[in-house]
Chain A
Amino acid sequence: MSDIPDDLKYTASHEWVKLNDDGTVSVGITEHAQELLGDIVFVETPEIETEFTAEEACCVVESVKAASDIYMPISGEVVDANGDLTDTPELINSSPYDDGWIFKIKPSNEDELEGLMDAQTYEDSIED
């Protein structure tokens, strides 16, 4: 069974979202997503200061099996990206919810978080 932390929000495209204390939002992919992709070998993080709207493709994760777009869970501006993924993209496999975070955004409208799934809803969605 996949690990799906209760304190995060989720998208149908398997991103997780975490609201940080400083008001920024961290984004990564779920344990289930990394399992589907297999060994991750390359991550192209989004450029800092770029603005995206919700559900826009903003970066790419490539595994031995496939290239996969990462979609912006909510609208906002990219304020940070995980530089460790350049040399150690496998952090997404080994620690998808912590060391394998991909980028942080400043949300343009925090209320959009309410439109995302909670852990239980996400778990139900991947069991289908």
Chain B
Amino acid sequence: MSQQTILYDKHVQYGAKIVDFAGWDMPINYGSQIEEHKHVRADAGMFDVSHMVVLDLEGDKVVDFLKFLLANDVSKITSTSGKALYSCMLNERGGVIDDLIVYYLNDQWFRMVVNAATRDKDIAWISKQAEAFDVSVSERDTLAMIAVQGPNAIEKALSVLSDDCKQVAGALKRFVGQPCGDWFIGRTGYTGEDGFEIMVPEAEAAAFWDKLADAGVKPIGLGARDTLRLEAGMNLYGTDMDEDTSPLQAGLGWTIAMKDDREFIGREALVAEKEAGPVMKFVGLVLQGKGVLRGHQQVVTGTGEGEITSGTFSPSMGVAIAMARVPAQTTDRVQVNMRGKLVDANVVKMPFVREGQVCVEV
């Protein structure tokens, strides 16, 4: 039995095509995925991300707990109220259980957002690890979540927020979130554009969605969410990395804080991996021929084979792009096996697109 978010009726009302995503009935698009993508890059769009999981972690030792639980170091954010940190949560083998965002609210309280598809295993893992630190894990499942993204997203969202929340939201610096009554507003996102992710009590979610629509914010489906995040060079859990993938081979080395001797789950495995030297690396690809790159296509290089983890047609660039795991010695040119044909692709440093601007050579 599929679950529906509190905004399901709104999606139907706004003409969504509904698909199953991780057990949820979610909008894949409201007409054209490409138009939705371009609208976010040029103006402002909104995404229902209520299926994602909000967890509050509370306790006197919550800082120590998160320093142990996460591969990134929450010490980076504990001097700024509301500051957010992106991190992987690893198993002992150094594989990725999930990637997540955690907000520092005070020394006894962090708020975490994890993926919907990994909800059960995440909560089980976090709760198990939390016992030793006497930290409570509470799911805030009566909060809906709406991401408003695009160059005009902030202005349009501020125009429909309550006076109190407008003040809070308007003062947010990038990658910071703050509560406002029962609401919570973070200046974060998954598109490579500026904007907010807004947690709103379920009872108020549909009315807020309508207000945003009236302010000219267009509903955007999961299809465009995927092409936007891929252009932005942001990984998708379960596709670009999983429990058998090291973050070092998923382009996430920048999120691993191991310069000091902090002990965290997965550290030993990553140390061993680093000492052995890199085998594979994670790169962006831009196709030089016709067609569309797709996940699981084989990448052929002079030093061995790799695989595309995420591929798509980039609406902003007009060509196919991909994320791929390839041999560490791979240089600037590879070939992709596309339905039996080898097609050239250039290796690039991601992101492909940030804040409406193409950052790589097509």
Which A residues lie at the B interface, using CB under 8 A? 38-39, 41-42, 44, 60, 62, 64-67, 90, 93
Contacts and interface: CB of A to CB of B under 8 A. Distances in A.
Contact of B32 (A39, A60, A62, A67): A39
A62 B34 CA distance: 14
A99 B294 CA distance: 28
A106 to B, nearest CB: 26
Contacts of A39: 32-34
B291 A44 contact: yes
Contacts of A64: 33-34, 223, 227, 292, 312-313
Contact of B339 (A38, A60, A90): A60
A42 B343 CA distance: 15
Contact of A67 (B34, B223, B227, B294): B294
Interface in B17-32: 28-29, 32
A102 B32 CA distance: 21
6 contacts: A39-B32, A41-B292, A42-B292, A64-B34, A66-B294, A67-B291
Contacts of A42: 290-292, 313
Given A38-B28, A66-B294, A93-B32, 14 more contacts: A38-B29, A38-B33, A39-B32, A39-B33, A39-B34, A42-B290, A42-B291, A44-B290, A60-B291, A62-B292, A64-B33, A64-B34, A64-B292, A90-B34
- Which are the 9 A-B pairs with shortest beta-carbon distances? A41-B313, A62-B292, A39-B34, A64-B33, A39-B33, A39-B32, A64-B313, A42-B292, A42-B291
A67 to B, nearest CB: 7
B291 to A, nearest CB: 6
Q: How large is the interface on B (under 10, 10 to 19, 20 to 34, 35 or more residues)?
A: 10 to 19
A75 B180 CA distance: 67
B226 to A, nearest CB: 9
Interface centre among A42, A44, A66, A90 (most CB of B within 10 A): A42
Contact of B291 (A38, A62, A65, A66): A62
Nearest to B294: A67
Contacts of B312: 64
Contacts of B339: 60, 67
A44 B32 CA distance: 21
B34 to A, nearest CB: 5
A121 to B, nearest CB: 26
B354 to A, nearest CB: 21
B97 to A, nearest CB: 28
A126 B13 CA distance: 24
A64 to B, nearest CB: 5
A84 B341 CA distance: 24
A1 to B, nearest CB: 15
Given A42-B290, A42-B291, A67-B292, A62 B313 contact: yes
Contacts of A41: 34, 292, 313
A40 B70 CA distance: 41
A65 B290 contact: no
B234 to A, nearest CB: 18
Contact of A38 (B223, B290, B294): B223
Interface string B26-64: 001100111000000000000000000000000000000
Nearest to B36: A39
A126 to B, nearest CB: 16
A60 B292 CA distance: 11
Interface in B272-291: 290-291
A60 B34 CA distance: 20
A67 B296 CA distance: 13
A23 B146 CA distance: 56
B201 to A, nearest CB: 33
B296 to A, nearest CB: 12
A90 B318 CA distance: 13
A41 B292 CA distance: 8
Nearest to A62: B292
Interface in B170-229: 223, 227
